[in-house]
A = this chain, B = another copy of it.
């Protein structure tokens, strides 16, 4: 069974980063993946120390990206913010910096243009990431987020970017985002050692919200074990990170959430 990691957004309504670190240690969950808001609230250096003292691996920092913007100043600000995220990922010794690449600029219908902004933004931050030794992990997001969160929608598209931009890039594969893709098995094999993270999350039927109704593994229709077997066949032996954006789970006692997470963790 793969080592488990808690993405902090899973318990964000009730626990800050210190409680999440302590919760992982208490539950014997060996990995953690903080979002930057809780990281900033605690402070980067204290968080790095606390996580190290707890003996946890940082399976990712969430998140960089959000490159498209309607003007040059906005795009430059995004690049600068990504450099700060790289600093933070380095300070945490994170296995990767997860990229949610961004959607269309407000009012725009220019999808090709937004994709070019993503490519250009990644190209701009890559030298800095390479110098810091931080892997930039492109996360294809479900196509239903294309307009407002990520014009990077498929594993193939992420790997095409990796091919085009060279070293320092990898992919973060979340079952929730990729399970529907008829090409996913072939693309996971293509990804090979570029798989920097594997996220487990389930698709509920019905799904009542496009962002905040993700399912606990086991509650939905995704064959997570199959996707885990695919990434392992491709060479990935790392953590399975659970990242739930879910109003239902946010309302629960986090200790109960972590207990259920562990019970469901079968891959």
Contact = CB atoms under 8 A, between A and B. Distances in A.
Interface in A179-222: 179-183, 203, 205-208, 210, 220-222
A220 B179 CA distance: 26
A233 interface: no
A156 to B, nearest CB: 7
Contact of A143 (B111, B144, B208): B144
- Chain A contact residues: helix, strand, loop or mixed: loop
Contacts of A182: 115, 153-154, 156-157
Number of copies: 2
Given A115-B182, A223-B109, A210 B154 contact: no
Contacts of A111: 179-180, 223
A111 B147 CA distance: 26
Interface string A137-150: 00000111011100
A263 interface: no
Interface in A115-147: 115, 142-144, 146-147
Contact of A147 (B109, B146, B147, B221): B221
A259 interface: no
A64 to B, nearest CB: 20
A7 B181 CA distance: 28
Interface residues of A, number: 32
B153 A109 contact: no
A109 B147 CA distance: 28
Nearest to A177: B143
Nearest to A213: B210
A71 interface: no
A105 to B, nearest CB: 10
